[in-house]
Amino acid sequence: MKALKVGIVTLLAGGISIGAAIFGQRWVGETPLGERTLERQSAQLQTLPDFRLQDLDGHEVASNAWAGKVLVLNYWASWCPPCVRELPLFILAQDAWRGTGVQFVGIAVDRVEDAQCFAADYPVNFPLLVADPEVIALSKRLGNRVGGLPFTVIFDRRGRRVFSHVGEMTAAELETQIEGLVGAANGPTPPLESDSIRR
């Protein structure tokens, strides 16, 4: 009789363990998998999103203002040394590609006053907008998984994301990306050369 009880208890315990493992894995496993799927979807934004930000003068600018252009968005800050080192490259590039439909836009992850002071001391030849929390979060969906600065993302003329880069860019990297989007119809683009730009 004792052996029968031990056998029944063992069978029940084994059945409960196996059932818990199967159902537990199913129910517990669904939540992380669902979260991973949502994270993957949120990280795969492939087109220029709609957003509105204030420029340094307080005017609202919509992202569709540059529809039909090759758009280079650069997240930067006045307190970020690599960002400041990179800006002369973008200023030179905006001049070099001005007539080809390429538009650079800086998104300052900064206080408005600090960005204004920086722009007063170091004039920039392209629009500077001030980031809000939503657009900062948007950078992660555009490829900036670590939330680092500077962060550059490039969109083609149809608004498709074609390139993203965390960290300081070189002139060679930028030329490679832009030349492929501008196309041969506009002729060769001038090389980006300056003493203040590293290759």
Tens-place pLDDT, residues 129-159: 999 999 999 999 999 999 999 999 999 999 9
Sheet holding 52-55, edge to edge: 60-62, 52-55, 128-130, 102-108, 70-76, 151-155, 161-166
Helix (H) or strand (E) holding 32: helix 2-42
| DSSP sequence for 137-168 | HHHHHTT-TT--SSEEEEE-TTSBEEEEEESP
Tens-place pLDDT, residues 168-192: 999 999 999 999 999 744 555 556 6
Tens-place pLDDT, residues 27-84: 333 334 444 434 444 556 899 999 999 999 999 999 999 999 999 999 999 999 999 9
Do the beta carbons of residue 63 and residue 133 sit within 8 Å?
no
pLDDT exceeds 90 at position 4:
no
Question: Confidence band (pLDDT; 50, 70, 90) for 20?
Answer: very low
Per DSSP, 101 falls in state T
Q: What is the pTM of this model?
A: 0.74
Tens-place pLDDT, residues 22-42: 444 333 333 344 444 344 445
CATH match of 52-186 with 3.40.50.300: no
Q: For position 63, what pLDDT does the model report?
A: 95
The domain spans of the chain are 1-42, 52-186
**CA–CA separation, 72 and 13 (whole Å):** 63
Least Cα distance to 192 among 118, 101, 98 occurs for 98
By residue count, the chain amounts to: 199
